[in-house]
Structure 1
Amino acid sequence: MKRIRIGNIAEIAEKRARVVRIGSLEIAVFKLSDGGVKAIENRCPHKAGKLSEGIVCDHHVFCPLHDWKIDLNDGLVQAPDEGCVASFAVEVEEKSGELWLHIEEERILAS
């Protein structure tokens, strides 16, 4: 598992996202209204909509293309639709607010 610095929590507005690229992998990093941070692949499994441009509500993001609802905790698409996107662990350093993405090295090499 690799730990990669991806910025500071202060750089992301509440209920908004920031896009991070690692190789050819594009990841959307979301700041939730409760201050939590979640990271998922920035590509809806339906028609490849940019999830970073979607509307965030609670711990879900709605794809901007066709309103598919995706859980930011695990990347699962919510019924009645089906599918999933990769989710990634994010660590926020308490004192500095630095954000660290935890990603398997195989994902980086495959991208």
Structure 2
Amino acid sequence: MFVFAAVLSVLLAVVGLAAGLPKALLKGNIPAQLQSAGGLSAPLVRFIGLAELAATAGLLAGLFWQPIGVAAALGFAVLLVGAIGFHAKSGDYANPETRGNAMAPAILTIIAIAVAVTLILAS
């Protein structure tokens, strides 16, 4: 069970790194691909990026101490639920052009919960 938890943790950490790094390193205005009808401010985008990077670090640390990994996975799931709410409020799920990108947080939420459950079961 631990091998499965480790694989899921690493995969989710890679996604968190890929999503969080550009947001955390954001300088100036928000790029077009991060803009939406909701109008996130640049400092908020940077904060979200830092939270994603913290979750990434926690997921990797959780490979050595499982309680940290569980907390990181659950924290990442909470962040992703917020993203789902933001996309829903922005109408991204109703728009066929933006629906694909808006589905990523929903899928990743399921994976984050699976990481937390597998880490709990592996301990």
Report the TM range for the smaller structure's normalisation. under 0.3
State which structure, 1 or 2, has the greater radius of gyration over its C-alpha atoms: 2
Report the TM-score when normalising by structure 1: 0.25
| Structure holding more strand per residue | 1
Report the TM-score when normalising by structure 2: 0.23
